[in-house]
Chains A and B, each alone.
Chain A
Amino acid sequence: MNFTAAIRSALRALSTNALRSLLTMLGIIIGVAAVITMIAIGTGAQQRVEEQIKALGSNIMLILPGTVTQGGVRLGAQTGQALTEDDAKAIALEVPEVQATAPSMRNGMQAVVGNVNWATSVQGSSADFLVVRDWLIVEGRNFDVAEENGAAKVAILGQTVARELFGDADPIDKVVRVNRIPLTVIGVLDRKGQNATGQDQDDIVVVPISTFRNRLQGSGGGRLKRVWSISVKVRDGQSMEAAEEGIRALLRQRHRLQSGAEDDFTVRNLTEMLAAQEESTRVMTLLLAAVAGVSLVVGGIGIMNIMLVSVTERTREIGLRMAVGARSRDILGQFLIEAVALSLVGGAIGIVLGAAATWAVGSFAGWQVVMSGQAVALAVGFAAGVGVFFGFYPARRAAALLPIQALRYE
């Protein structure tokens, strides 16, 4: 018996009991749809974390001032004033693993253009800020070292700010007043999207740190040029741990801390935190898919059940087929193909359903979903495997029948 004839006869057998076949397939349909949807949701979450890592910039560490102790009372994180612009420069120069550093001061301020105004976050930093954050300028230019040191009245706008203040107009060389100080727009940043906590990273105005200190912020911040944080980018391929150790040793030395004294700063490895989050979403995806896979197995048992019923019901047909020349392996193949056809047709319906569910989750719940060909192939392969595995026993039973007993079966 050739293959196409076997498939045709299998499809005919399934269509004669259409309702029963459909109910049998339901387990596979739900299983495949669930696997596809769960993987799509999981992959979506994973991709979102990956995008955040990319948006943050790779190999980034953040140095924050530590706590201050006043009369035995520890005031908590970031209360200290220990970090300075010179610390940032020293780290960039003296720790070999470090590629660039960017000191940072940041405050919410009102930006005004003509009769339009917008509350945004103003970031004072060095020219290396964009290098550290892997941030590109889509229009205009970055500020140079002279502007950085000379408190030049220049600003680079994030996409959100540019849109809110200028609409579709070109903001380059226009003037934005921030805290009543007129700044010339010299560049517009690339889009970066939301960060890990859902904040819009494009709602930002970047200015040279000296401009921020001397012009925008009322008080000068003192002779020591204190900053609120320092972002550090470690060179590709260099160990983050070694860089962290180098920075720690350097800062302890610069801050003249006695051995045994507590650090007056903290170093946070942001990339690692996100990598851990990514790992956990990956595990979550696997878990979801595994749970969905269980329903595929349950569906397979349904197929086995109905195939056993079918073999019993059609014993006389099996006898007849043997009488007119079917070999055992023809009968085995016939019932195996029927089982696999059941699971594959169910799998196909499941894919359609899974795609629809994925689309629904994506558009109504607003989750990020990614449907991959790999996931579809996995689900279908699994369904076919289930068909073969659970169809084999009933098919073996049919093939093992003796022709005479099958023919005389009542």
Chain B
Amino acid sequence: MPLVRARDLVKAYTMGGTTVHALRGVSLDIDEGEFVAIMGASGSGKSTLMNMLGCLDRPSSGTLEIAGDTVQDLSGDALAALRNRRIGFVFQQFNLLPRTSALENVELPMVYANVKPDERRSRALESLARVGLADRARHTPAELSGGQQQRVAIARALVNHPDIILADEPTGALDTATSEDIMRLLAGLNDQGMTVVLVTHEHDVAGWAKRCITFRDGHVVEDRRQSQVRALEKDEAPA
């Protein structure tokens, strides 16, 4: 059974009296362990799909199953629990809580999972170590570089051991060199078996993925497996 199973997903918004179709019947499967890049121009529907996959938004019609749960049937609280336990988010703007240490930022998802404080601390430190920031645990976002902030965000995404990491333009606010670092980190996680789905409009970034899905006008226009253009060198794999 695929990890994500979408059938005929339609999303329509009503804006100023006119109806805009962001998704016009999208069907796709994502298996465990895949590394998928979703590409497309602005307004092609790729971000809308991402919001669906992240259970932040519900489809207007069609069915979406994530790890066996049918998303459109779930209550708000059940969706929150699903996001909490099965999905890790990485955003373009990092979305860390300001004036809050990296450690506490990483602890946040566990706060909502009712994890005990001691365990929260040790798991957050573990997660920060995984992204190479164990020595920055006490720093606030303002004291960290963009790349470091995004690493903290990835540590936060990992901390509840999700089934899937959803990254929405994770390198959009970073320079080229830092982007590569972040992509290497994500590719390394994928190597360890983590399913990663990222949205991007940069071919360089998409080149890291093993599968590339292209959107245009709310439809999937291309879905191809690729050998990783930017293959991960084994000695660079994060611990």
Contact = CB atoms under 8 A, between A and B. Distances in A.
B83 A320 contact: no
Interface residues of A, number: 23
A381 to B, nearest CB: 30
Contacts of A407: 56, 91, 95
Nearest to A322: B80
A323 B89 contact: yes
A368 B100 CA distance: 50
- Scoring B54, B83, B114, B160 by chain A CB atoms within 10 A of each residue's CB, the highest score goes to B83
Contact of A325 (B57, B99, B112): B112
B16 interface: no
B114 A324 contact: no
Contacts of A317: 97
A328 B112 CA distance: 11
A70 interface: no
Contact of A5 (B80, B95, B111): B111
A263 interface: no
- Scoring A2, A323, A329 by chain B CB atoms within 10 A of each residue's CB, the highest score goes to A323
A255 interface: no
Given A322-B80, A326-B80, A1 B99 contact: no
Contact of A323 (B83, B85, B98): B83
B156 A325 contact: no
Contact of B89 (A324, A327, A402): A324
Nearest to B94: A320
Interface string A324-352: 11111110000000000000000000000
B80 to A, nearest CB: 4
A321 interface: yes
Interface of B: 51, 54, 56-57, 76-77, 80-81, 83-85, 89, 91, 95, 97-100, 108-109, 111-114, 117, 156, 160
B51 A404 contact: yes
B136 to A, nearest CB: 20
Given A403-B56, A404-B56, A404-B57, A324 B112 contact: yes
A2 B83 contact: no
A324 B153 CA distance: 11
A87 B117 CA distance: 86
A269 to B, nearest CB: 69
A7 to B, nearest CB: 12
A180 interface: no
Contacts of A328: 76-77, 80
Given A403-B56, A404-B56, A404-B57, A327 B109 contact: no
Given A16-B99, A404-B57, A324 B76 contact: no
Contacts of A16: 98-99
Interface in A1-41: 1-2, 5, 12, 16
A177 interface: no
Contacts of B95: 316, 319-320, 323, 407
A325 B97 contact: no
B89 A12 contact: no
Contact of B112 (A12, A330, A403): A330
Given A317-B97, A320-B97, A326 B112 contact: yes
A324 B100 contact: no
Contact of A324 (B51, B57, B77, B84): B84
Given A321-B112, A322-B56, A324-B108, 9 more contacts: A1-B111, A2-B111, A5-B111, A12-B100, A320-B91, A325-B112, A327-B80, A327-B112, A403-B57
